């Protein structure tokens, strides 16, 4: 199929994009429900709820068409299910950087969840400065015609990561997907500050938990060497 036809009404008629996206709704609902158990278990283990908030989304037909054209994905149901792994997305925003690994391990321990791929943008940030953990998982969904696996992308971010990513997303779209060089450089510097903030808040939490009755030492401010 020519790429020029991917975004056309005639091309989209070949597959019901709205129905395709809605097929993933039960998988999202199942994971969201299971997350309640994860948060209760981690609250008991860690002494606090590590998840600040949860959001989810199903990719819109317009977004599906745009990504199919951009990534050269054939606009057929089989191709979209196989190659577009973020038709269904779940985002977990954690209070602290160190909470990400705890939540990641607990999510992957959920019954029925199968890890297909993992992208660690915390240890290896994107060139833009973006940081997060991305988990591509398969979730079993039971329907009238039998059990099927649905792929869900789970993003784990700290509060600082989420703050940076949300504003970077707005600025990128304002500049048609690619910010000017000076803006991009400023965003990378802001990402470095967000990373320093994450690390500083972890140190402050550890210090607050230590209850060491010793002469108090002021913690180094964010960005100091």
The residues that are catalytic are: 153
* CA–CA dist 157, 67 (Å, integer): 23
DSSP string, 21-87: HHTTHHHHHHHHHHHHHHHHHHHHHHSS--EEEEEEEE--HHHHHHHHHHHT--SSHHHHHHH-TTS
Sheet holding 146-158, edge to edge: 51-58, 88-94, 146-158, 133-143, 114-120
* CA–CA dist 194, 163 (Å, integer): 9
Element (H or E) spanning 200, and its range?
Answer: helix 181-210
């Amino acid at each position: 199929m020519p790429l020029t036809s991917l975004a056309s009404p005639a091309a989209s008629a070949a597959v019901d994009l709205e129905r395709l996206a809605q097929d993933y709704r039960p998988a999202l609902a199942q994971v969201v429900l299971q997350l309640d158990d994860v948060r209760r278990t981690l609250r008991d283990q860690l002494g606090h709820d590590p998840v600040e908030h949860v959001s989810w989304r199903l990719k819109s037909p317009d977004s599906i068409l745009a990504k199919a054209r951009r990534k050269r994905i054939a606009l057929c149901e089989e191709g979209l299910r196989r190659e577009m792994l973020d038709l269904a997305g779940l985002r977990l925003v954690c209070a602290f950087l160190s909470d990400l690994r705890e939540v990641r391990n607990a999510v992957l321990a959920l019954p029925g969840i199968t890890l297909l791929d993992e992208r660690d943008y915390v240890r290896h940030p994107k060139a833009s400065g973006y940081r997060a953990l991305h988990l591509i998982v398969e979730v079993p969904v039971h329907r009238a015609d039998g059990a099927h696996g649905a792929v869900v992308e789970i993003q784990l971010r700290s509060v600082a990561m989420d703050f940076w990513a949300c504003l970077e997303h707005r600025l990128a779209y304002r500049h048609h997907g690619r910010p000017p060089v000076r803006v991009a450089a400023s965003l990378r510097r802001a990402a470095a500050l967000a990373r320093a903030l994450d690390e500083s808040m972890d140190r402050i939490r550890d210090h607050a938990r230590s209850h060491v009755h010793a002469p108090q030492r002021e913690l180094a401010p964010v960005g100091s060497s």
